[in-house]
Amino acid sequence: MNQPVPPSMSSLAAPRLGLPQAVVPVMFSQRAYLLIALAISLVFGLIALPTGVLPRNYATLGEATLLCINAILVFQIQFWLHFLLRYHPSAVQRWFARQSLLTDRGLRALLTAVLVTSYSLGRYYLDASLGINLDKPSITLLLTLAQVVSIVGLSCQVGIELVERSRYLASEIELLRHEQLQARYESLKQQLSPHFLFNSLSTLGGLIYDEPAAAERFVNEMAQVYRYLLRHGEQMTVPLHEELAFVRSYAYLLQMRFGEGLELHIDLPAEVLDRPLPPLALQLLVENAVKHNTVSRRHPLVISIDLAGADQLRVSNPRHPRLSPVASSGTGLSNLTNRIRLLNQQQLLVEQTDHAFCVLLPLPASIL
């Protein structure tokens, strides 16, 4: 049986503040966005009426209507461009979504300016050919007004995206609260786990009379495990060196139960030991490896913790699936994935083959 990989892990976006466009995620539906765009366009159309009609000695109803419609159209074409580049699923939309925020905004500003300028020039010459005798500015003034209108339209679009950003942050905060509560619940379950406690006490009972010295160390390591759970179980992050000390104590308790069937290898440079990561992250991965694999002297389970890159921690083990698979919902890994994503806007990755299971944890220098 495969070690469980929650479906969300393969589908989670990995927003990185300051880089991908996902920092301003799409929160409005297509229909909602188009209604907002239409409302803004109508407002500017109404604004255009007095600014275009009052300075003149006289104006017909047709001229006033034409001014209003023109203002609506010039903003509508801008919003439709943003709709196609940001909200409407297509190859172009997906390409823009992969770009940096600066590139995305810059390209959209350029395309908006070109589109508004083209529309203004086209309407200018169309009015002339149709004999529409509205007051016409010079070409230079027309081009200047086109750029002003494109800047106003882009500012409205940025405002819409800021509202989306605000809604996204509110939902992320709510999700973070939920994940914190879930993490506390999982931590509490681990602290009170009857299986872990029963197995530990059974192992201790066998050591007390046969190996008193080993029993004393076992009690000390068990105390370290529960002290860590009580002290750090509800924190957002802990230094890597503290998590490693905890995992060593936790692994020792398991090794006293499984003997030579379980090994823990840690190979990490000193310069990364102060980096932050979620508490109980490594313990969860060690627990999962033991839970879903055969642990025996014949098939030793070797769990390795090392670096896969400068900012990536690797936890790996060979796969020796149990003959009787253990049912699992994948809640632990899914919970860890979300905690990491909310902490540093990065993603936990899982690599699995027929013979090996590997989890890659982001290990940033600091939490965003």
What is the DSSP annotation of 321-355? Answer: B-SSPPP---HHHHHHHHHHHHHHS---EEEE-SS
Long-range CB pairs of 299-302 (<8 Å, 24+ gap) are 299/261, 300/260, 300/261, 300/262, 300/263, 301/258, 301/261, 301/262, 301/263, 302/263, 302/265
State how far the Cα of 142 lies from the Cα of 113, in Å rounded to an integer.
Answer: 13
For the chain, state the CA radius of gyration. 31
Express as a percent the part of the chain with pLDDT over 70: 80
Query: Which residue, chain included where needed, has tokens 């939902």?
Result: 171
Q: Is the dihedral of CA 231, 237, 241, 246 positive or negative?
A: positive
Position 10 confidence tier, pLDDT thresholds 50, 70, 90: very low
Rounded distance between C-alpha atoms, residue 12 and residue 2, angstroms? 20
Hey, what domains does the chain have and what are their CATH numbers? Answer: 21-177 (no CATH), 193-362 (3.30.565.10)
Alpha-carbon gap, residue 142 to 138, rounded angstroms: 6
Q: Residue 232 is inside which H or E element, if any?
A: helix 212-232
Task: Using the predicted structure, report yes or no on whether residue 357 has a pLDDT greater than 70.
Answer: yes
Residue 165: the pLDDT is 87
Whole-number Å distance between alpha carbons of 157 and 192: 52
- pLDDT classification of 57: cutoffs 50, 70, 90: low
Least confident of 11-15, 73-77, 191-195, 343-347: 11-15
The residue whose two tokens read 């939920």 is 178
Spell out the alpha helix ranges (H) of 83-193.
91-97, 101-130, 139-191
Q: What is the mean pLDDT of the chain?
A: 80
| Cα 97 to Cα 95: distance, rounded to the nearest angstrom | 5
Q: What 3-state DSSP class applies to 279?
A: coil
Q: At 306, is the secondary structure helix, strand, or coil?
A: strand
| CB neighbourhood size of 71 (10 A) | 22
